[in-house]
Structure 1
Amino acid sequence: MRNLVEFLAKHNHWFVFLILEVFSLILLFQYNSYQGSVWFSTANAAAGKLLSWEADVESFLSMSKANQELTQRNLYLEQQVKTLSKQLTDATKDSNWVRRNQLDILKGYHLIPAQVVSNSIDRHDNLITIDKGSLDGVKKDMGVACGTGVVGIVYLVSPHYSVVIPALNTESNISCQIRGRGYFGYLRWYGGNSKLAYVEDVPRHARFRLYEWVETSGYSSVFPPGIAVGKILHVYNSPDGISYRLQVELSTDFGKLRDVCVIDNKPVLERLDALRAAQDSLKPKEDK
């Protein structure tokens, strides 16, 4: 104990220097926006790299089970595609109809595949980090989806990594509609169960049934229409009593989320830009 005290007394000036240095760096990065942004980018890149290594290890360890699940799902989807293709061929008498329409649908969207390197589901402000960034074509406000449905919206982008606000975030607000009905609302999550969320502001005159699907509406530049959100479990009155609140079981299992795609929805952006330009041209011009 005496040796420790003597050591601290002998080198106390170094400890004071280190404490002051750390304190000054905290003040520098906290109260200066430029230095803070540089620190955030550097720290985000370093943390993203470490999380990527951790995710690679976890992915390798769980690869066997994932391959089994993918194999089963592929078999199911293959059978479903064959059945639907046969029905469409019988209805249209055209064996190439399915292939042509699939190409037409996919042609409009550029998908950027990515992997989740960090994820949380037990907070109110859950965030997801993916291993693709601006150098891969990812931009802020792009939509993110997986094989089973909606994931979230890109919030922050660095050269090699991006942070996504998932549907499991109390700040998330995604436009969606009841499949085949046309009635739309907004997907919100209020915490708690990671498998349940709510569709708000569904009009009172809407007609639908329990267990019908909710999907993206396509009314924004983030998601194209038709991406699965979940199934309706219960119907409640909204707090103001003038609309419905739908409880939905999310189709995406955020606890097992690994592979995702970032959606570069350029055609929708072009249509929105054209619409805005048309609206601006119709505005009455001020008298000179």
Structure 2
Amino acid sequence: MLQLVDFVVRNRFFLVFVLLEVLSVWLIVRNNTYWGATYFNTSNYYVAKTLAFSNSVRDYTKLNEINADLANENAHLHAQVARLSQTNAAQSPAGYVPDSAFAARFTYTVAKVVDNETNKANNVITIDKGTAHGIKAGMGVISATGVVGKVRFCSEHYSVITSILHSNFMVSSKLVRSKEIGYAKWDGKDPNLIDMIDVSKYTKVYKGDSAVTSDQNSVFPPNIMVGRVETVAVNPNQTFYNITLRLATDFRNLSYVYVVQNHQLVEQENLKLRTIEPKK
């Protein structure tokens, strides 16, 4: 308290000066229309700026919550799109009516990426959902923009995904315009590019064409983006194109993914096993 009194006594002339200046400004604003309007316009401008900054800070702190809500909404929309694409498939012959259970066989679980590799020859991704959330090995994984990979193994609360940026991972893909089916396989170099192999050179391939997951796929729903044709080359000694795709998913900025469950996968796999003849 004594220090405060001492401060006021030592700076009394300056404090009186400041007080008189404030009083003078107040009197000018109060009794002069022009300066009054200028003051209020200026003060409103800075108050608005302050409120806008405050709202921006508050919105920024809620980004995680907003992103989670959007991811859940996207999962719901993915399920609807997959069901509608099977029910109203444009390439289906007249009179074909898909089974309703088949059309609705895919469901989605939202997960957050907690670890992600892009600079190795065999990259994996870790997510924050595991067996406690119904995740199982072999399930497909996609993002809001395209294919991500396949679940490799799980613990109770985490799962490791074999990324599409893995030398041993391939996904059956279809070129939208030419309808040709091949396989997307990473060459272990650029995390933005992937090769598409086994596409016959006797069909037309268009630069910029979209490559999506094909119908011949039990892990991923059909028509999920893989990438767009970046380059097309032909080797005279081969019967297939050398096609490079620019990946639809930006793996360096991957935050949320959707784990895809095919509820009829076990039935499909068990039926295929019956075609394998036992060794004699």
TM-score w.r.t. structure 2 length?
0.60
Contact 1:201–1:238 (CA under 8 A) maintained in structure 2:
no
Question: Which of 98, 111, 116 is 1:114 aligned to?
Answer: 111
Deviation, 1:152, is 0.4
2:147: which partner in 1? Answer: 150
Aligned mates of 1:186, 1:228 — CA distance in 2: 13
Q: 1:218 to 1:134 in 2, by over 3 A?
A: farther
Contact 1:114–1:262 (CA under 8 A) maintained in structure 2:
yes
Q: 1:105 to 1:250 in 2, by over 3 A?
A: farther
Aligned mates of 1:238, 1:135 — CA distance in 2: 49
Aligned mates of 1:217, 1:266 — CA distance in 2: 18
Deviation, 1:270, is 2.7
Aligned mates of 1:61, 1:122 — CA distance in 2: 31
Deviation, 1:217, is 1.2
- 2:219 is paired with a residue whose SS is coil
Deviation, 1:161, is 0.7
Aligned length: 196
Deviation, 1:203, is 1.2
Question: Which of 160, 184, 189 is 1:187 aligned to?
Answer: 184
- 1:270 is paired with a residue whose SS is helix
Question: Which of 155, 160, 163 is 1:163 aligned to?
Answer: 160
2:222: which partner in 1? Answer: 225
2:263: which partner in 1? Answer: 266
Contact 2:112–2:255 (CA under 8 A) maintained in structure 1:
yes
Q: 1:274 to 1:121 in 2, by over 3 A?
A: same
Aligned mates of 1:233, 1:260 — CA distance in 2: 25
Aligned mates of 1:260, 1:125 — CA distance in 2: 19
- 2:211 is paired with a residue whose SS is strand
1:1-288 equivalent positions in 2, closer than 5 A: 63=63, 107-237=104-234, 241-274=238-271, 276-277=273-274, 279=275
Give unmatched runs, 5+ long, in structure 1: 1-59, 82-87, 89-100
Q: CA offsets, 1:172-203, max 9 Å, x none?
A: 21111112433111111122321111101111
- 1:127 is paired with a residue whose SS is strand
2:50: which partner in 1? Answer: none
Q: 1:111 to 1:246 in 2, by over 3 A?
A: same
Q: 1:254 to 1:156 in 2, by over 3 A?
A: same
Q: 1:149 to 1:106 in 2, by over 3 A?
A: farther
Q: 1:265 to 1:247 in 2, by over 3 A?
A: same
The residue identity in structure 2 corresponding to 1:164 is I
Deviation, 1:276, is 4.9
The residue identity in structure 1 corresponding to 2:171 is I
Q: CA offsets, 1:125-163, max 9 Å, x none?
A: 211001111121111111100110000011121111111
Aligned mates of 2:101, 2:244 — CA distance in 1: 34
Q: 1:259 to 1:186 in 2, by over 3 A?
A: same
Q: CA offsets, 1:100-136, max 9 Å, x none?
A: x9x9897321211111000011111211001111121
Contact 2:177–2:209 (CA under 8 A) maintained in structure 1:
no
TM-score w.r.t. structure 1 length?
0.59
Question: What's the % identity of the aligned pairs?
Answer: 33
Q: 1:131 to 1:122 in 2, by over 3 A?
A: same
In proportion to residue count, which structure has more helix?
1
Q: 1:116 to 1:177 in 2, by over 3 A?
A: same
- 1:135 is paired with a residue whose SS is helix
Deviation, 1:62, is 9.8
- 2:252 is paired with a residue whose SS is helix
Q: CA offsets, 1:218-268, max 9 Å, x none?
A: 323221211100100111235961211211110000011011011111235
Contact 1:200–1:238 (CA under 8 A) maintained in structure 2:
no
Root mean square deviation of aligned Cα: 3.4
2:45: which partner in 1? Answer: none
The residue identity in structure 2 corresponding to 1:146 is S
